[in-house]
Each structure stands twice: as structure tokens, then as C-alpha cells.
Amino acid sequence: MEIVVSNKTSRPLYEQISTQVRAQIMSGELKAGDPLPSIRSLARSLQISVLTVQKAYDLLQTDGFIETTAGKGCFVSAQNQDFYLEEQQKKIEEHFTEAIEIARTSGISLDKMLNLLTLLYEED
């Protein structure tokens, strides 16, 4: 598992860690049951506070991505992918609803919206 953090971004370090772990889980790079590095070892390798890694792991556990077993460590949860995809879909629906309201009040047609969505989605 490779994690890279930067102090040059406005995102907190714990968010950078949790986002990268989530991405690795969603991509299949980390699979259900895979162990995560211990909090101390990850903090040492990233040269950051143990509390920062603990906060990232707490967030991942709260969101259902990892499970912690006392004395054994943290492991990728088996039920994370469906939960995560559902949450992401809800966020997308909220953004689409807002965009549709703006388009309707601005007189932008559905065809133009579809073209814009396609263009943005396929953009590198």
C-alpha cells in the first residue's frame, strides 16, 4: 500500500490518507481482509503524527471501509464497496439536481446539458 501526503495542499493530512486508502480499496488494489499498516508504522513512514493516522483510520472505520480487531490491527472491510458506491451516487444525484435547477432557470436545454456532461466526463 502506497500513501503520499503533502503539506502543500489545503486538504488535511488525515483526509489525504483516508482518500488514498479508499481509492485503493475501490480500485481493487486493496481487497477485503487485507491488513493495513499499523498506525505507528504508517505514521513513521510518512513522518507524521500517530494521531493524524489514527484520525484517518477512525474516519475509514466510521465510513465502513476498514475494521479494527483489538490486538491484530486494521483490515479492509468486506462490505465497503457497495456502501461507498451508494454514498457516491447520492452525492452525484445532489449535484445533478442543483445543476438541473440552474439549467432550467437559465433556459439551458437538456441536449446542451447532456453534451456538457459528456464533454466533462470524457475530459482527461
What confidence tens digit (pLDDT) does each residue in 29-88 have? 998 899 999 999 999 999 999 999 999 999 999 988 999 988 899 999 887 667 767 778
Q: Are residues 24 and 36 in the same domain?
A: yes
CA atoms within 13 A on the CB side of 96: 10
Q: Are residues 86 and 65 in the same domain?
A: no
Q: What dihedral do alpha carbons 43, 45, 46, 49 form, nearest 10°?
A: 20
Task: Write out the residue range of the structural domain in which residue 32 sits.
Answer: 13-78
Tell me, yes or no, if the pTM score tops 0.85. Answer: no
Burial of residue 60 (number of CB atoms within 10 Å: 0-12, 13-18, 19+):
buried
What distance in Å separates the CA atoms of residue 3 and residue 1, rounded to the nearest whole number? 7
Express each pLDDT in 84-123 by its tens digit: 677 788 889 999 999 999 999 999 999 999 999 999 999 8
Q: Are residues 86 and 114 in the same domain?
A: yes
Contacts of 36 (CB under 8 A, 6+ apart): 1, 21, 30, 42, 57, 66, 73, 74, 75, 76
Residue 7 within any structural domain of the chain: no
Residue 1 within any structural domain of the chain: no
